[in-house]
Amino acid sequence: MEKEQNQNLEETEIKEAVSENTEQDSNTEEKKEDQLKEKKPDEIILELEDKLARTFAEMENQRRRFEKEKEEAFEYGGFAFAKEALNLIDNFERSKQILQNDESLKGTEALKKMLDHFDVIYKDLISVFSRNNIKPIESLNKKLDPNLHQAMMEIEDDQKEPGTIIQEIQKGFTIKDRLLRPALVGVSKKIVNKDKKVTENNENLEDK
């Protein structure tokens, strides 16, 4: 008996809750309808104009984004290809270096002719790159620029201001206004006085 009574109570409570929610929803819809009826035609027109203006603004933003993406695709579509093509430059420079360091070729006419041919081909490559807005980054004797250069080592040199590029390990390139790859460089630093360094090391040991 008790179980049946509890079940009946629960069912009654659920029905009452559903009824209340239905009434609330109905009241809310009625209020919305009343608010719409209360609005003047001018207010409705202003609201529609605002919605229309927002829609046009969103469409214009989408158009601009599309135009920018299209322009970038046209301008930089060959970015990946250009980056891969730099391997040709690297291989030419490595081959030239190997020939120059070959003891059996040093001072020979054959070496001179080969290097002359390498220089002609290298200049042609740079010229083709340049016509396509791919240009080498000037590095030697320039101040290190993190946007263009990547420091690979520090070289002691009192003749140059610290942070000056005194060695180019790998040439860097740009394509239009973008970095294609940074130049790998060595930068100068002040020569550390050996006596001073020994003193500092001894002081550090004494502190420990």
Residue 181 lies in a domain: yes
- Residue 149: φ, ψ to 5°: -120, 155
Residue 96 in contact with residue 118, Cβ under 8 Å? yes
Residue 114 lies in a domain: no
Provide the domain limits for residue 191: 135-208
In the chain, the amino acid numbered 187 is: V
Calculate the CA 11 to chain-centre distance.
Answer: 63
Residue 11 lies in a domain: no
Residue 180 in contact with residue 79, Cβ under 8 Å? yes
Give the CATH number for residue 141.
2.30.22.10
Residue 36 lies in a domain: no
Question: How many domains are there within the chain?
Answer: 1
Of the candidates 92, 100, 95, 165, the residue with the CA atom closest to the CA atom of residue 129: 92
Model pTM score? 0.55
What is the rounded distance in angstroms from the CA atom of residue 12 to the CA atom of residue 26?
Answer: 21
What is the rounded distance in angstroms from the CA atom of residue 206 to the CA atom of residue 201?
Answer: 9
For each of the chain's 208 residues, which pLDDT tens digit applies?
Answer: 544 544 554 555 555 554 555 555 555 656 555 555 566 677 777 777 777 778 777 877 777 776 776 666 556 667 778 888 888 888 888 888 888 888 888 888 888 888 888 888 888 888 888 888 889 999 999 999 999 999 999 999 888 889 899 999 999 999 888 899 999 999 998 887 655 554 555 555 555 5
